[in-house]
Structure 1
């Protein structure tokens, strides 16, 4: 009798396994069809969308000074562009700052320098003296169509612009460059 049970069970198991495999294959085909056609309600009309189309654009540094409009309004200083190693600072915030004196400003204008080198372009009219720090510093100035560069002595005041000009003409500070 044992042999009879085994022979009767074998065809039943085969049918069960065949139906299970067929159902799994059919479900897999349906899933594959849905994925290949695009999920309904995706908003793309069933077309494939490239990930590149949705990627953010490139970040391009324009070196514009952050908050320049606010600084112009509050302080009357035009800060244009720089590499981030020379930044406007509160003169009371510490030592080792570059200090710029201009006739049209009541207080000194201070800049913090960091890194091994830096540059900052600006427009500060009527600059007549600059105090250096531990960096080798050069300032570029204009008077009319003429351009002049001045080397700033480390940790001391250096006459620039109108105080260094034989004719006493008003100079515009246009760039600061530093090297350690």
Structure 2
């Protein structure tokens, strides 16, 4: 008896589908670990074993350690403005604050960046090759300053007619 090639393919497909169905039935009725609840809901098995979602909250890494060691509050940012060692070279944003003996430096990378922080009594910022703006507060009042590229810009109490202490709260830079 000769079977035409088209009928042979149809027969093989049907046999394959039957085998897959039988395997699925065996797995669903006896082969899943974890008891009845997972047999009733096989998706639960996969969901329980899958890793959780990674949600970026933009919190500054090691902020608690930096606060303890340097008394600088670094809150949130996009990772393109980071605290740097001032001796690490040129191209850094440099910040002078009255209650800090040394400069505080930040490295900027990428096309743009932002960082929220708290540094009290800031009176000068030296820019780098980026266009930079800083936001400061004094009491309930907020002030923004455009920072000169590659030179010092008076900000806060140095630019305030009343000489009031200003808190640096945000840095934004872009190319």
Q: Same fold (TM over 0.5)?
A: yes
Distance 1:122 1:78 in 2: 5
Paired position in structure 1 for 2:28? 36
Match status 1:97 vs 2:92: yes
1:20-169 equivalence runs, <5 A: 34-39=26-31, 42-45=33-36, 47=39, 48-50=41-43, 51-169=46-164
Structure with greater Cα Rg = 1
Partner of 2:31, secondary structure, is coil
Q: Distance in 1 between matches of 2:163 and 2:48?
A: 60
**Corresponding residue SS for 1:74:** helix
- Count of aligned pairs: 152
Offset, 1:52: 3.3
Could you tell me which runs of 5 or more consecutive residues in structure 1 were left unpaired when the two chains were aligned: 1-29
Supply the distance in 2 between the matched residues of 1:32 and 1:84 (Cα, whole angstroms). 48
Q: CA shift at 1:156, angstroms?
A: 0.5
TM-score (norm: length of structure 2)? 0.80
